[in-house]
């Protein structure tokens, strides 16, 4: 991008190129979210040894840190890895929707044979990426990452929240089948799904929605959801340690075995910790004013509608308790993500998220991912 600088991506490949099923895993597209990197740190040696032992049946591509741009964004001893400094884009939005490009190339050839359609679509998507001419490093990053992921059967994008329990974002098309299995295997304490598929083009959304969009355009053709694509939120930003990293890696490995990508016995599927809930049922607490955030409830708490989750304290108001504005849960559910106590809040800032089963009127038409 600038004289004297360059970026590289490091991708590990296991198994034979082109073997199926293919899994693609990446971490830290939000470059300051390292718990997923820790999980991959523990998973990589497991895959190295499985590969040496001939146990990789499909193909696995792992990119431990996908975002060298964000990794370099150090300012005054702070690491700011969520938004691109150049265009202020959220690194996990505006990924490429390839459905038009695929439509143009092979739309007229999609018919009743599902396997043929899958092969045609994957090939067309890769061909579309191959001719793209990115004009800056962020665009280049997006194209290169999707070249690795778009033909995969499983795409797992590893993130975290600020303070959270392990949770998962996926699409309705997956949630009743393969994503349920994923959620059980990784121990997700909340699973949220977009209906029918994600509209904001997150990385996992772009990979999964390609199939949904084409299926919608071609109701007569057999277009399966050929890619299980999910965003896994590995708890909070500071939840990076060997105990969690090791157990998260083992759970991912077991899921890869269960999917037949690695040979072995996956064993009994762990019990699903929480029923999946629709994004439209996710209560998002937006701060009504500026002040200091203080929570009444810990992450993971089961909440009831009407409970005070946290409060915003106006430091310039001398009236003690009257200086505190309560923020109330508008649904029953799991408080799966919150911020840190003592954080500065501002109007519109997200203070918490609750996974509830009931669709909320005020959430209609919202994507669920606000920032």
Nearest-approach distance from CB 275 to Zn ion, in angstroms: 24
Listed ranges 16-24, 152-160, 247-255, 320-328: which one lies at the site for Zn ion (CB under 5 A):
152-160
* Phi/psi of residue 140, nearest 5 degrees: -60, -40
Cα 321 to Cα 165: distance, rounded to the nearest angstrom = 30
Structure tokens at 120: 């045609």
* Phi/psi of residue 6, nearest 5 degrees: -160, 160
Nearer to Zn ion, 236 or 245 (CB): 236
Nearest-approach distance from CB 159 to Zn ion, in angstroms: 3
> Which 207-246 residues touch Zn ion, going by CB under 5 A?
none
Nearest-approach distance from CB 116 to Zn ion, in angstroms: 36
Number of residues that bind Zn ion (CB under 5 A): 3
Nearer to Zn ion, 14 or 193 (CB): 193
Nearer to Zn ion, 29 or 125 (CB): 29
* Phi/psi of residue 182, nearest 5 degrees: -60, -50
Strands 228-236 and 167-171: antiparallel
Cα 211 to Cα 152: distance, rounded to the nearest angstrom = 12
> Which 309-338 residues touch Zn ion, going by CB under 5 A?
none
> Which 153-212 residues touch Zn ion, going by CB under 5 A?
159
Nearer to Zn ion, 33 or 185 (CB): 33
The yes or no reply on residue 353 touching Zn ion (CB under 5 A) is no
Listed ranges 151-159, 198-206, 289-297, 303-311: which one lies at the site for Zn ion (CB under 5 A):
151-159
Nearer to Zn ion, 30 or 173 (CB): 30
The span from the first CA to the last CA of the chain, in angstroms, equals 26
DSSP reduced 3-state for 55: coil
Nearest-approach distance from CB 158 to Zn ion, in angstroms: 9
Which residues have a Cβ under 8 Å from the Cβ of 168 and sit 6 or more positions away? Answer: 179, 182, 183, 186, 188, 190, 191, 192, 230, 231, 232, 233
* Radius of gyration for the alpha carbons in the chain, expressed in angstroms and rounded: 21
Binding mask 9-48 for Zn ion (x = CB under 5 A): ---------------------x--x---------------
Nearest-approach distance from CB 92 to Zn ion, in angstroms: 6
Nearest-approach distance from CB 169 to Zn ion, in angstroms: 10
Cβ atoms 84, 91 nearer than 8 A: yes
Nearest-approach distance from CB 181 to Zn ion, in angstroms: 23
Nearer to Zn ion, 71 or 360 (CB): 71
22-27 β-sheet, strand order: 12-15, 59-63, 22-27, 154-161, 228-236, 167-171, 190-194, 277-278
Nearer to Zn ion, 33 or 172 (CB): 33
Q: Which residues bind Zn ion (CB under 5 A)?
A: 30, 33, 159
């Amino acid at each position: 991008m600038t004289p004297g600088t360059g970026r590289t991506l490091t991708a590990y490949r296991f198994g034979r190129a082109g073997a199926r099923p293919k899994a693609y895993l990446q971490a830290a597209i939000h470059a300051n979210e390292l718990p997923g990197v820790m999980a991959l740190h523990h998973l990589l040696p497991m895959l190295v040894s499985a590969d040496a032992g001939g146990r990789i049946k499909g193909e696995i591509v792992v990119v431990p840190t996908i975002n060298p741009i964000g990794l370099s964004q150090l300012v005054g001893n702070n690491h700011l890895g969520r938004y691109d400094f150049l265009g202020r884009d959220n690194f996990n939005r505006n990924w490429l929707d390839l459905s038009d490009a695929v439509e143009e190339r092979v739309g007229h050839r999609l018919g009743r044979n599902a396997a043929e359609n899958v092969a045609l679509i994957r090939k067309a998507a890769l061909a579309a990426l191959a001719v793209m001419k990115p004009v800056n490093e962020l665009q280049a990053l997006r194209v290169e990452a999707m070249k690795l992921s778009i033909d995969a059967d499983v795409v797992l994008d590893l993130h975290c929240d600020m303070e959270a329990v392990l949770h998962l974002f996926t699409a309705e098309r997956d949630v009743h089948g393969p994503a349920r299995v994923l959620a059980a295997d990784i121990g997700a304490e909340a699973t949220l799904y977009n209906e029918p598929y994600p509209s904001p083009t997150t990385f996992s959304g772009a990979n999964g929605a390609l199939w949904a969009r084409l299926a919608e355009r071609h109701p007569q053709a057999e277009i399966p959801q050929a890619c299980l694509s999910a965003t896994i939120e590995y708890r909070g930003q500071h939840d990076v340690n060997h105990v969690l990293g090791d157990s998260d890696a083992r759970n991912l490995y077991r899921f890869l075995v269960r999917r037949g990508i690695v040979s072995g016995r996956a064993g009994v599927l762990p019990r699903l910790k929480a029923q999946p809930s629709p994004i439209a049922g996710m209560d998002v607490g937006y701060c009504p004013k500026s002040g200091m955030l203080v929570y009444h409830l810990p992450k993971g708490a089961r909440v009831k509608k009407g409970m005070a989750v946290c409060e915003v304290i106006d430091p310039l108001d001398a009236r003690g308790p009257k200086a505190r504005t309560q923020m109330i849960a508008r649904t029953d559910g799991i408080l799966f993500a919150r911020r840190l106590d003592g954080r500065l809040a501002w109007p519109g800032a997200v203070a918490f998220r609750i996974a509830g089963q009931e669709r909320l009127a005020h959430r209609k038409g919202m994507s669920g991912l606000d920032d």
